[in-house]
Amino acid sequence: CILKGNDLKLSTTARGNSLEELAAHCFEKTAGFVITGRNVKHALQVHEIDVMMWNYPHEDGFNIFQGPWIVECKHWLDQVGANEVRNFLGKLTYMRAEVGIIISPCGITGNAAKKNAAFGVVHGAFLGQNVKILTVKTDELVNISDGKEFSKLLRDKYINVSAYGKF
């Protein structure tokens, strides 16, 4: 994975904040989603949630999974590893969220077909806990011009995971 341009000049925190802004913008433009919090810290300081929202199913948006959705933004120079994905799964479980999204430039570790490393955590969450973790690479967001396109991207990813076992 290669970050380009100004991304390399920014600190990790600044890169993360810019990715959180992009994620919030995409969801705000998608019918049915309402952002309920950004950088939300648990009362006991157990964890922080980058972007938290509620989905009200809408025909022009993502029309299933009413309830809380959580987004984790990792604007790192490397892939997101299994430990970080497990930590994210812990947040989803704690919040009783059925759907979580990891957005990063480099994706997650492992081989999707072999379902190992971070992909193994995603696979296990789906089969064992019925929690859907969708992964979105930042380059997939480049050509998104409106909420309907973003909803289609998420829907396609969900279908690939649930119907075809493609993570």
Residue 7 pLDDT level (bands cut at 50, 70, 90): low
pLDDT value for 95: 87
Residue 167 pLDDT level (bands cut at 50, 70, 90): low
Per residue in 121-157, pLDDT (tens digit) is 999 999 989 899 999 999 998 888 899 999 999 999 9
φ, ψ dihedrals at 26, nearest 5°: -60, -45
Rounded distance between C-alpha atoms, residue 15 and residue 34, angstroms? 23
pLDDT over 80 at 163, yes or no: no
pTM: 0.92
Per residue in 17-50, pLDDT (tens digit) is 889 999 999 999 999 999 999 998 877 667 899 9
Angle subtended by helix axes 117-129 and 82-95, to nearest 10:
20
Instruction: Count Cα neighbours of 68 within 13 Å in the Cβ-side half-sphere.
Output: 15
**What is the per-residue DSSP string for 13-42?**
HHHHHHHHHHHHHHHHTSTTEEEEEEEEEP
pLDDT over 60 at 2, yes or no: no
Per residue in 72-117, pLDDT (tens digit) is 999 988 999 999 999 999 999 988 999 999 999 999 999 988 989 9
Tell me whether residue 124 is exposed, middle or buried, using C-beta atoms within 10 angstroms of its C-beta: 0 to 12, 13 to 18, 19 or more: middle
pLDDT value for 79: 96
Rounded distance between C-alpha atoms, residue 163 and residue 15, angstroms? 34
Strand partners, 40: 49
